[in-house]
Amino acid sequence: MLIRIGYRITFVTPSPTPILMLLYVHPEIAGSLIYPETVEIETENGKAAPVEDYLDAFGNHCARILAPTGRLTLKYDNIIERPDEPEPVLAEACQHQVEELPVETLQYLLPSRYCEVDLLADEAWKLFSTTIPGWSRVQAICDWVNNHVEFGYPHASPMTTAYQTYRNGKGVCRDFNHLALTFCRCLNIPARYATGYLGEVRVPRSGTPEDFSAFFEVFLGGQWHVFDARNNTRRYGRTLMARGRDAADTALTTSYNQMLLEDFVVWTDEITED
């Protein structure tokens, strides 16, 4: 299937402001884009903001710009080809013993900024120790989080951690997935945070504005698999932008000065013959 993806984001800055951006499709799937990838940058004074592209430690496509004083608008519009079937269920995917894991996965067993493995380990074993290791265990974790955490945009906070979500029982998609991936790490399953596009493709429309979406990936059966504790179903058209240990590694923009968000629009729509 073909998915139109993109965004329009406008900031206002009081003075020249360095900004880091993770606003590209992940290099792993960038070959599926129909058009060359570029972020259009509009400034209030009409001067160009030079873009320095680079890959970070997690393999994400990043860029650095120096935004001039005033209004800055970032625009992106492209089409990407995605599988014409829902994300697969691989129930036979097994859990590895820690001593058998590839060394590059071991960092995804450790605590990180938003994922307090040390604080949640006892609870994780109480809740899930009787589940079958592997795919079934991860799905049981997603089921539990989806049933015990209340979703709501008023609950959104950039400071909320997995432990706080567990205690408060409220959050948005990043909180659902921080908690689920932390439980996975507690149970010796490597788990990493991810973000990208996930529109309402081939599912009922909710009527809410589109946004970027958080999800997570686990290492089972020798490869990484996507899970989503917020939506908790296999979906169509998910498009990866960035991944890391948690949301601290995957912020879509990071500014090194005060910056006011003035406009934020995201689109993810299947292109059909109709």
pLDDT 10s digits, 87-129: 999 999 999 999 999 999 999 999 999 999 999 999 999 999 9
Residues 243 and 110 grouped into a single domain = yes
Asked whether residue 88 is assigned to any structural domain, the reply reads: no
| CB hemisphere CA count around 127 (13 angstroms) | 21
111 and 31 housed in the same domain:
no
Same domain, 148 and 69: no
The predicted pLDDT at position 44 comes to: 84
Q: State the Cα–Cα distance between residues 138 and 183, nearest whole angstrom.
A: 9
Give the pLDDT of residue 20: 96
For residue 48, give the CATH number of its domain: 2.60.40.2250
Both 199 and 216 in a single domain?
yes
Q: Are residues 75 and 117 in the same domain?
A: no
Alpha-carbon distance values, 17 to 35, 66, 176 (Å): 29, 5, 32
Shared domain for 26 and 153, answered yes or no, is no
Q: Which domain holds residue 164?
A: 98-248
pLDDT for 274 equals 57
Question: Do residue 141 and residue 162 come from a single domain?
Answer: yes
**Same domain, yes or no: 162 and 257:** no
146 in the same domain as 27: no
Looking at residue 219, what is its pLDDT? 98
Q: Tell me, yes or no, whether 105 and 42 share the same domain.
A: no
Domain shared by 243 and 140, yes or no = yes
Low-confidence ranges of the chain (pLDDT < 50): none
- Helices 173-186 and 117-128: crossing angle in degrees, nearest 10, is 80
Residue 269 near residue 199 (C-beta atoms within 8 A): yes
Q: Are residues 102 and 223 in the same domain?
A: yes
According to the model, what pLDDT value does residue 49 have?
79
Q: Which of 129, 131, 110 is nearest to 181 (CA)?
A: 110
pTM for this one? Answer: 0.94
35 in any annotated domain? yes
Q: Which residue in 46, 92, 90, 48 sits closest to 66, CA to CA?
A: 48
Structural domain contains residue 89? no
How many C-beta atoms surround the C-beta of residue 15 within 10 A? 10
Looking at the domain assignment, is residue 90 inside a domain? Answer: no
Total structural domains within the chain: 2
Angstrom distances, CA of residue 199 to CA of 48, 210, 266, 267? 31, 7, 9, 7
Residues contacting 130, CB < 8 A, separation 6+: none
